Chains A and B, each alone.
Chain A
Amino acid sequence: MKKLVNLSVNGDPYELFVDTRRTLLDVLRNELNLMGTHRGCDSGDCGACTVHVNGLPMTSCLLLSVDWDGADILTVEGLLDGNQMHPVQQALVKQGGVQCGFCTPGVVMNALALLKDNPHPTEVEVRAWLAGNLCRCTGYVKIVEAVMSIDGDMI
Chain B
Amino acid sequence: MSQSSIIGQRIPKLDAPDKAMGLATYGHDIRLPGMLHGRILYSLYPHARLTHVDTSQAERLPGVKCVLTAADNPPTRFGFAKDSTPFKGDVVRSLQDEVAGVVAVDLDTAEEALTLISVEYEALPAVFTPAEAMVEGAPLIHQERGTNLFRSYKYNHGDVAAGEANSDVVVESSYRMPYVTHACMETSVVVAQFDHRDHLKLWSTTQIPFLLQRDLSEALGIPGSQIRIIQTSIGGAFGRGLDIYPYEPIVALMARKAGKPVRVAFSRWEEFTASPTRQPAEATVRAGANKDGLLTFRDVSISLDIGAYVSWGSVTPLVMMETTASLYQVAHVRFQANCIYTNNPITGAMRGYGNPQSTFFIETIMDQLAEALDIDPVTFRIRNANVPNSETPQGLIITSCGMKECLTAVAAAADQGLQWRDAPKEKRSKANVGDLTGRHTLNQLNEIRAIPSPKVKRGIGFASTLNVGGGARIYRSDGCGATVKVDDFGHVTLVTGSTEIGQGSETVLAQIVAEALGVTIEDVSVFNSDTDVKPWDVGVHASRTTFIAGNAAHLAALEARSQIFETAAELLNVEPARLEARGGIIWVRGDEDRSISMSKVVRRRHFREDGKVVVGDGWYDPPTKMVDKDTYKGNISAAYGFGSQMADVEVDIETGLVRVLRLVCANDVGRAINPMAVEGQIEGGAQMGLGYALTEELIVKEGKVLNPDFVDYRLFTTADMPEIETIIIETDDPGGPFGAKGVGEMGGTPTAAAIANAIYDAVGLRLTELPMTPERVLTRLEEEQNQ
Contact = CB atoms under 8 A, between A and B. Distances in A.
Interface string A30-71: 000111111111110110100000000000000000000000
Contacts of B448: 124, 127
Contacts of A38: 26, 28, 185-186, 235
A141 B22 CA distance: 21
Contacts of A141: 443, 679, 683, 721, 724
Interface in A13-45: 29, 33-43, 45
Contact of B718 (A48, A92, A131): A131
B267 A42 contact: yes
A155 interface: no
Interface string B502-545: 11100000000000000000000000000000000000000000
Contacts of A130: 717-718
Contacts of B185: 38, 40, 46, 48, 100, 102-103, 134-137
A136 B687 contact: yes
A99 B685 CA distance: 12
B687 A104 contact: no
Interface stretch (B7-15, B274-282, B333-341): B7-15
A139 B684 contact: yes
Interface in B719-740: 719-721, 724
B680 A124 contact: no
Chain B facing A: main interface SS: loop
B22 A77 contact: yes
Contacts, number: 188
A73 interface: no
B24 interface: yes
**Best-surrounded residue of A42, A89, A139 (most CB of chain B within 10 A):** A139
B239 to A, nearest CB: 12
A143 interface: yes
Contacts of A105: 20, 22
B233 interface: yes
Contact of A99 (B13, B21, B24, B711): B13
B236 interface: yes
A96 B674 CA distance: 11
Contacts of B184: 100, 102, 136
Query: Interface size class for chain B?
Result: 35 or more
B20 A98 contact: yes
A21 to B, nearest CB: 8
A120 interface: no
Interface in B437-454: 443, 445, 447-448
B621 to A, nearest CB: 28
Chain A facing B: main interface SS: loop
B715 A134 contact: yes
Nearest to A19: B108
Contact of A37 (B22, B237, B238, B724): B22
A37 B22 CA distance: 7
A155 B20 CA distance: 16
A143 B711 contact: no
A123 B446 CA distance: 10
A4 interface: no
Contact of A136 (B16, B236, B718): B236
A102 B504 CA distance: 14
Interface in A104-129: 104-105, 108, 122-124, 126-128
A102 B22 contact: no
A46 B23 contact: no
Given A46-B185, A96-B677, A138 B683 contact: yes
A140 B718 contact: yes
A1 B28 CA distance: 26
A123 to B, nearest CB: 7
Contact of A80 (B12, B21, B26, B676): B21
A130 B716 CA distance: 12
Contacts of A104: 19-20
Interface in B661-704: 676-677, 679-680, 682-688
A142 B680 contact: yes
A130 B721 CA distance: 12
Nearest to A144: B718
B610 interface: no
Given A136-B184, A140-B717, 14 more contacts: A33-B31, A45-B711, A89-B21, A93-B17, A96-B12, A96-B679, A101-B235, A124-B447, A126-B718, A133-B717, A136-B715, A139-B683, A142-B679, A142-B680
15 contacts: A38-B185, A77-B21, A96-B13, A96-B676, A102-B186, A102-B502, A126-B718, A131-B717, A131-B718, A134-B710, A135-B185, A139-B682, A140-B687, A142-B679, A142-B680
Enumerate the 10 nearest inter-chain pairs by beta-carbon distance, A residue then B residue, closest first: A36-B22, A101-B19, A100-B502, A102-B235, A139-B683, A76-B22, A45-B710, A131-B719, A98-B16, A89-B20
Interface of B: 10, 12-13, 15-26, 28-29, 31, 182-187, 233-238, 267-268, 443, 445, 447-448, 501-504, 676-677, 679-680, 682-688, 709-711, 715, 717-721, 724, 747
Interface of A: 29, 33-43, 45-46, 48, 75-77, 79-80, 85, 89-90, 92-96, 98-105, 108, 122-124, 126-128, 130-144
